[in-house]
Structure 1
């Protein structure tokens, strides 16, 4: 295996708690190299799921955090100048296609649409990546798979995937886990008592009910783990919740008071 790709293998098993049949469905999709789209709110476990599946399948994983300044060259590669002259540097998408990695484009709608169209030839029966600047056509390795994720509830009309892009993917819906499963996840990831984890999840559920009624986003599982880690380090529960759960998601004084009251209710 090339040294280029060796660094992208997931060496240790990531903790992932299945909530339905998503593991079996993803394995079936990978077996036919179907491009996959993971849809769900921020911090609900999409990225952890991809890491777990890459580990389970024994495949390297190249993750790209998409942003509005990302160009097609950031994905496919560019010519660079060094002491020897001009040389070509593969981008993460090209590296994944050459060596048979899973390429994960996280929050893909943050990228410009003229950037995301470069994935089209890789996501149909052609499975090729044209490097126009280099004059090369890269045929995707048999193990290559493209995975994208995005948060449908957070998109505007200006930031959404084209239908011509969406219809190239199979899709799995993700959401925050059921109460008992989320409690188990928070307790496992932080080492805190399950009774405290249960209360943190209850606070999160209160906040999620306020989405669209003063909050753009609810409290995510990721945020609960942050709070649990603080509590495990001896931080006062109320201070940990203010710091990790309440203050990050709103600046509105009334909404902060309401969420602080929810924390006091459970603790």
Structure 2
């Protein structure tokens, strides 16, 4: 594979990531032995940004796949396509990553069917190979190749969870929303608002997360808090920005909306 293809997937500039614990050191150690890594945590808490930051820090290409329930094994490994000259093989993102030595990030992997995720198994043990059965080729992974998966344990169910045979191929890092003072720092940096306002947004988020399981499936994510801050930075009234970015995406239940709106009104 040409260097130009590899360069295409490099992260061009340093993504902002605020380390919360020792996740950077742990990931670097895992990458040094090419351990497959599983990131577990709620939506919008920084899992994807972390992977981007680590790919930049290690100067490795990153290929991200947003998993969904319609994704097939062919979507990951590749397929034959028809063109004017007949049939030609096109590698899927997992195969490209294995060939060029990229970090392959499968985001929300539990959304994919279990028969699809099985194709990663030969890449996540001592073999580090990817069989392309339709093409009759066995791809040996590049020495730099690593696979990273993420999912949200809060949405686990018996129907949507990883098999133990898949889980036990990975080292795991737990992610969660940061403490309010760190979250405020992230909000201020990403949205450009002042510390006082960022502190208030972080406190609102804390209150919403206490409602998880009591009317809310998920609390307000760090991502949504940044959206609210960006709206305020553009001159939008803080209450209106919070309603648009924090409350309306989260729930359609009128009582829960009133509860969250009341929390916002106590801060603004």
Specify the SS of the correspondent of 1:78. strand
Equivalent residue number for residue 173 of structure 1: 174
Equivalent residue number for residue 46 of structure 1: 47
Specify the SS of the correspondent of 1:105. strand
Stretches of 4+ aligned residues off by more than 6 angstroms:
none
Specify the SS of the correspondent of 1:15. coil
1:206 matches 2:191:
no
In the alignment, the residues of structure 2 paired with residue 66 and residue 116 of structure 1 have an alpha-carbon distance, to the nearest angstrom, of: 10
> Which blocks of at least 5 consecutive residues in structure 2 are unaligned?
none
* Count of matched residue pairs: 267
1:191 matches 2:192:
yes
1:133-189 deviations in Å (ceiling 9; x for gaps): 000000000000000000001111100000000000000000000111100000000
Specify the SS of the correspondent of 2:104. strand
User: Could you state the TM-score of these two structures normalised by the residue count of structure 2?
Assistant: 0.99
**What is the CA-CA distance between 1:84 and the residue it aligns to?**
1.1
After alignment, is 160-169 or 3-12 more displaced?
3-12
Correspondence list, 1:234-253, <5 A: 234-253=235-254
Equivalent residue number for residue 16 of structure 2: 15
> Which blocks of at least 5 consecutive residues in structure 1 are unaligned?
none
Specify the SS of the correspondent of 1:203. helix
Correspondence list, 1:1-267, <5 A: 1-267=2-268
**What is the CA-CA distance between 1:196 and the residue it aligns to?**
0.2
**What is the CA-CA distance between 1:7 and the residue it aligns to?**
1.2
In the alignment, the residues of structure 2 paired with residue 171 and residue 93 of structure 1 have an alpha-carbon distance, to the nearest angstrom, of: 20
User: Could you state the TM-score of these two structures normalised by the residue count of structure 1?
Assistant: 0.99
In the alignment, the residues of structure 1 paired with residue 52 and residue 26 of structure 2 have an alpha-carbon distance, to the nearest angstrom, of: 16
In the alignment, the residues of structure 2 paired with residue 266 and residue 134 of structure 1 have an alpha-carbon distance, to the nearest angstrom, of: 61
In the alignment, the residues of structure 1 paired with residue 201 and residue 213 of structure 2 have an alpha-carbon distance, to the nearest angstrom, of: 21
RMSD value, Cα: 0.5
1:90-123 deviations in Å (ceiling 9; x for gaps): 0000000000000000000000000000000000
In the alignment, the residues of structure 2 paired with residue 2 and residue 110 of structure 1 have an alpha-carbon distance, to the nearest angstrom, of: 32
Specify the SS of the correspondent of 1:146. strand
In the alignment, the residues of structure 2 paired with residue 248 and residue 156 of structure 1 have an alpha-carbon distance, to the nearest angstrom, of: 23
**What is the CA-CA distance between 1:83 and the residue it aligns to?**
0.8
In the alignment, the residues of structure 1 paired with residue 38 and residue 246 of structure 2 have an alpha-carbon distance, to the nearest angstrom, of: 28
In the alignment, the residues of structure 2 paired with residue 141 and residue 93 of structure 1 have an alpha-carbon distance, to the nearest angstrom, of: 12
**What is the CA-CA distance between 1:87 and the residue it aligns to?**
0.4
In the alignment, the residues of structure 2 paired with residue 26 and residue 57 of structure 1 have an alpha-carbon distance, to the nearest angstrom, of: 10
